[in-house]
Structure 1
Amino acid sequence: MDKKIKKVLDLQKTDYQIDSRLVKKGTIFFALKGERTDGHLYLKEVAKKGAKLAIVNKNVKVDLQDLDLETLIVEDVLEFLQALAREGLKKSPAKIIGITGSSGKTTTKEFIYTLLKSEYRVSKTLKSYNSKAGLPIAILNMDKNVDFLVLEMAMDEIGEIEKLVKKIASPDIALITQIATFAGDVGSQEVLARAKKEIFINERTKIKLINKRLKKLKSFQDENYLTYSIEDKTATFYLDVENLDFYENGKKYAIEKLPFKESHLLENTLAAISICRLAGEKFNNILKKLQTLKAYDIRFEKVLIEDVLFIKDYYNGNPDATFAALKNLPKTKGKKIAVLGSHRSYGKLSSRVHEKIINEAKKYVDEILCIGEEFKNIKNIKNYSSLEDIAKNLKKIMKKDDVVLIKGSRFLKMEKIFEFLN
C-alpha cells in the first residue's frame, strides 16, 4: 500500500470532504481543481474551520507555510482520492450493488436501500454522489462493515463508467435503468448504451440486470442479460400492474398493493425488487417494506399548496424523463399546467428535441410555460426570460384542483419558482 494512502487511512475515523462549505473540525479536505473553481483557494477557510488535513497537488501555487493546517502533497488529488476509496473498500466484506442509467438511478438506489435495510446491514451513496469525485467521497464517508454497499454511478463523458468500476468500485451486482433516446454531446443512443454498459466490464460483476427495453439496442444483444419489465411478460422479472402480480422466472407472487401508480416509478420499484431478489432477500420481507417507498426529493415529488397540486421534478433534465413526467400526471378536475425548462448539450439536435418536448406536452396538459434559450425558436408557446415572470403568470392562471408540473434541469434552479410564488 502507498505510504501516503496508509497515513490517511490510519487516521482515526474522520470526515472526508471536497466541498469547503461542508468542512468541520477533524475533516480531511481534498483540494480538487475543477472547471469552475480550485479547492486550493479555500485552504485558509478550511483551516479556520478546524480541518485535520488537506490533500493538495504537487504543483500548488498557494503558500502552504502560513497555513495553520497539516497538508499532504500528492501528484494528483483526484487520483489519490480515488485510490484511497479503492483501498478503503478492500477490507469491506460487503457485496457491491452498482446502478447506472440515464434516469432513475437515485430513486432506484433509495428503493433498494429501503427494501434491504430491514434484513441486512446496508450503506448507500448519499444524495447523488455518483461522479469521479463524488463516488469516492461517498465511499470514504460510509460505513463499509456491512452486507451491501449500494452505489450510484454516473458519467459526463465516454469511458467514465469504466474508470469508476476499475479505479474505485467494481460491482458484484450491476443494474442499468434507462438509456436516453437523445444522447446529447455523447453522440448516438448506441454510443451512450456502450458507455453505460461499461458497468459490467469487470469479471467480478456476475449478476447483470437491465431494463428489458434495452434489449432492442445492439449493445445489449451480445449476452443473456437478466431483465425486468412492466410491459413484457418474457422478462426475467415482470410486474403485472393491473392484476398486482410479480413474476420471477415465470413464478407468480401476489402483491396486495403497489406504492405508486406512475409508470416510471413502478419501473424503479420493479428494478429495486429485482435487485433485492438477486441479492437473496425473501419476497415476504420485500412485501413488508413495499408501502414505505416514497418518491425521492424533487423527483416527481407531490406537494399540495392552497388546493393546487404541484409536482416537483427538477433533478433529471433529459427529454425521456420529461416525457415520463408528462405521461404520468394525475387526473384532476382542474387544468394541467406544465412549466418546462430547456435542455442543454443537444447541439444540432436541440431544435428537434425541444419541438418534440412541446408536441408531447400538448398531448397531456392544457397550458405550457417555458423557460430557456433553447425554446426561443419554437412558435406558439409562452417562453419566459425569468422564473419570476413564470411565477407571476402562474398566479394569474392557477385555480383550485389544478395540477402544475415543474420540470427542468438543476442548472435552471426551478425551485426558485416557489420562492417567487410566496
Structure 2
Amino acid sequence: MRVIIKNLITRVLVWEAKMALRRHGPQIIGITGSVGKSSAKEAVFAVLEQKFNVRKGLKSYNSELGLSLAVLGLETRWLNPIGWLNNIYLGFKEIFKEFPKILILEMGVDRPGDLDKLLKIARPDIAIVTAVGEIPVHVEFFAGAEEVAKEKAKILKSLPANGKAILNYDDETVWAMKEKTNAEVLGFGFASGADVVASNYQISENGISFKIEHNGSTVPIRLKNVFGKQAVYASLAAAAAGLVHSMNLIEISGALQKYQPPPGRLRLIQGIKNSFILDDSYNASPLAVHAALDTLKDFAGKRKMVVFGDMLEIGKFTILAHKAVGERVASFADYFVTVGPRAKFSAEEAVSRGMPKERVKSFSTTKEAAGYIKNIMQEGDLILVKGSQAMRMERIVEEIMATPEDAPKLLARQDKFWKDKE
C-alpha cells in the first residue's frame, strides 16, 4: 500500500514539475556523476546566485521524486501523509508563482534507465559531469563500469546544440563523453589541457587554497573550512558555469567564498579530547574513499586514524575495492577501525601490508566502534570517518564530537526519519 501511495505522489509531483518548467522555461543545469554531485551543486549555486535568480535542490534530491521536489523548491516529508498533501498543494501553486531563472538539479543513477526518467522531467541546457572512476557507486546494478558511464552520458546526448557540457578533464571516462554531444564542451581539472585549470593546491587546518586559470588569466582562491581536492573539482565546475554565464574570474573568486560543502562531505569537526574529526560519512565509493584518504594524508596531525564502514552496491568489485582501501590505509595511518563485514577485507589487507595488528580493529556496529574509538583517542588526533550511507557512520561522529548538540546542523541524516531508523 505504501508503495502505491508513493508512486501516486511521485506521479503528481512529476506532473507539477513538468508544468512549472513548461510554463516558466528556466535554464536548467543538470549535474550527474558517481561522486561529487551535491558538492558541485552547492559550488555552482554559490557562484551563480551572485548575479542571477537561482534555485537548487534543498538536499541531495536526485531521484525521480527528488528531482521533482528540487524543481518545485520543496522538501521531502518522509512518512508524513499530511506533509505530502501539503507538498502537492504547494507544488500546484508553484506553477503559477514567480519562478527562478536558473535551476541547479542533481541527476542520480542507481539502475539502468534512471536517467531517462529524469530527462523526461527536466532537459538540461547545461550539463556537468563530476566524476565516474574505475569502480562507480551503484555498479552492482549494471553489467559493468562502462554501462554506468553510458547511462550517465545520456545527459550529454540530451543537450541542445547551443547547450554547454562541463566535464571533468582529469577523469578519462568522463572526458571521453565529449563525443556524445554536439554542444560546446569545457573541461575542468588539474591537468594543463583543461579549459579551467587548478594549480598550487595547498591544505591546512584552516581550509584549502589554489589558483584557477582560464585563457591566460589566473585568480587565487582561498576556501575557509573547506578541505580536499574534491572541493577543488566542485569549485572548478562552478567556475566553468560562471564563465558560461559571462562572469569573470574575479567575480567567481569572490562568490566561491560563500561555498561550504554539505554535511558529511569532508567537514572538519572538533572532537572530544581536543581531537579533530574529518567527517566524510555521507556515502562511500572507491573513488571517494581514496580521495578522502588523500586528504587525510595531506593534513598535519599527531596521529591519523581511519574509521571505515562497508562500501555497498559495488557488486563483483567488493573484495578488490575493500582490499585496495586497506593497502592505502596501511601506507600512512596510525590506527584503522572498520565497521561491517565487507570492511573486514580492508582490515585484513592492512595487517598483511605491515600495519601492526593491535592498531587494526573490526566491529559489527557503529556503537561498538564508537566505544573503542573513545577509549583510544588522544589530544591532537585526526580521525577520518567514511562509509556508505546504509552504514550510518555519522552515528560515530556524533558520539566522538565535542559538541553533539550541534549534530543537527553539522552532520548528515539528522531528520527524524533517519534518527528513528535502525
- TM band (smaller chain): 0.7 to 0.9
In the TM superposition, what is the alpha-carbon distance from 1:171 to its structure 2 partner? 0.6
Aligned residue identity for 1:231: F
Aligned mate of 1:254, from 219, 243, 246: 219
Whether the 8 Å contact between 1:340 and 1:370 is mirrored in structure 2 is yes
Query: What residue is the counterpart of 1:198 in the other structure?
Result: 154
Aligned mate of 1:89, from 3, 14, 21: 21
Distance across 2 between alignment mates of 1:218 and 1:284: 27
Query: What residue is the counterpart of 1:159 in the other structure?
Result: 113
Distance across 1 between alignment mates of 2:309 and 2:171: 27
Query: What residue is the counterpart of 1:311 in the other structure?
Result: 278
Compared CA separation, residues 218 and 88, structure 1 to 2 (3 A):
closer
- The 5 A counterparts of 1:309-388 are 309-329=276-296, 330-377=298-345, 379=348, 380=351, 381-388=360-367
Whether the 8 Å contact between 1:162 and 1:201 is mirrored in structure 2 is no
Whether the 8 Å contact between 1:214 and 1:220 is mirrored in structure 2 is no
Aligned residue identity for 1:191: E
Helix, strand or coil at the partner of 1:352: helix
Q: More displaced, 302-311 or 209-218? A: 209-218
Larger Rg: 1
Match status 1:295 vs 2:248? no
- Give CA-to-partner distance per residue, 1:192-214, whole Å, 9 cap, x none: 11111111222436111110123
Query: What residue is the counterpart of 2:46 in the other structure?
Result: 114
Distance across 2 between alignment mates of 1:333 and 1:203: 46
Compared CA separation, residues 376 and 79, structure 1 to 2 (3 A):
same
In the TM superposition, what is the alpha-carbon distance from 1:386 to its structure 2 partner? 1.5
Aligned residue identity for 1:337: M
Q: More displaced, 406-415 or 169-178? A: 406-415
Aligned residue identity for 2:116: E
In the TM superposition, what is the alpha-carbon distance from 1:130 to its structure 2 partner? 0.9
- Give CA-to-partner distance per residue, 1:126-168, whole Å, 9 cap, x none: 1111101111122123676222111111011112112211x20
Helix, strand or coil at the partner of 1:340: strand
Match status 1:282 vs 2:248? yes
- Give CA-to-partner distance per residue, 1:171-210, whole Å, 9 cap, x none: 1111000003213312322211111111122243611111
In the TM superposition, what is the alpha-carbon distance from 1:217 to its structure 2 partner? 6.4
Structure (1/2) with the larger helix percentage: 2
Aligned mate of 1:132, from 61, 64, 68: 64
Distance across 1 between alignment mates of 2:249 and 2:44: 13
Q: More displaced, 364-373 or 259-268? A: 259-268
CA RMSD of aligned residues (A): 2.5
Compared CA separation, residues 115 and 180, structure 1 to 2 (3 A):
same
Aligned residue identity for 2:390: F
- Give CA-to-partner distance per residue, 1:275-312, whole Å, 9 cap, x none: 11112223332122222222221100110123101011
Compared CA separation, residues 407 and 175, structure 1 to 2 (3 A):
same
Helix, strand or coil at the partner of 2:64: coil
Helix, strand or coil at the partner of 2:212: strand
Q: TM-score, normalised by structure 1?
A: 0.77
Match status 1:396 vs 2:375? yes
Aligned mate of 1:234, from 187, 193, 207: 193
Unaligned segments of structure 2, at least 5 residues: 75-93, 202-208, 352-359, 405-422
Unaligned segments of structure 1, at least 5 residues: 1-32, 41-55, 58-75
Whether the 8 Å contact between 1:299 and 1:315 is mirrored in structure 2 is yes
Helix, strand or coil at the partner of 1:311: strand
In the TM superposition, what is the alpha-carbon distance from 1:218 to its structure 2 partner? 8.7
In the TM superposition, what is the alpha-carbon distance from 1:99 to its structure 2 partner? 0.4
Query: What residue is the counterpart of 1:65 in the other structure?
Result: none
Whether the 8 Å contact between 1:130 and 1:152 is mirrored in structure 2 is yes
Q: More displaced, 408-417 or 228-237? A: 228-237
In the TM superposition, what is the alpha-carbon distance from 1:77 to its structure 2 partner? 4.8
Aligned mate of 2:101, from 143, 147, 168: 147
Helix, strand or coil at the partner of 1:182: coil
Aligned residue identity for 2:389: R
Compared CA separation, residues 264 and 256, structure 1 to 2 (3 A):
closer
Whether the 8 Å contact between 2:32 and 2:129 is mirrored in structure 1 is yes
Helix, strand or coil at the partner of 2:30: strand
Helix, strand or coil at the partner of 1:109: helix
Compared CA separation, residues 219 and 191, structure 1 to 2 (3 A):
farther
Query: What residue is the counterpart of 1:6 in the other structure?
Result: none
Whether the 8 Å contact between 1:193 and 1:219 is mirrored in structure 2 is no
Aligned residue identity for 1:170: R
Task: Indicate the percent of aligned positions where both proteins have the same amino acid.
Answer: 26
Whether the 8 Å contact between 1:122 and 1:149 is mirrored in structure 2 is yes
Aligned mate of 2:122, from 156, 169, 173: 169
Helix, strand or coil at the partner of 2:316: helix
Whether the 8 Å contact between 2:310 and 2:388 is mirrored in structure 1 is yes
Whether the 8 Å contact between 1:114 and 1:293 is mirrored in structure 2 is yes
Helix, strand or coil at the partner of 2:59: coil
- The 5 A counterparts of 1:48-63 are none
Whether the 8 Å contact between 1:339 and 1:407 is mirrored in structure 2 is yes
Whether the 8 Å contact between 1:104 and 1:178 is mirrored in structure 2 is yes
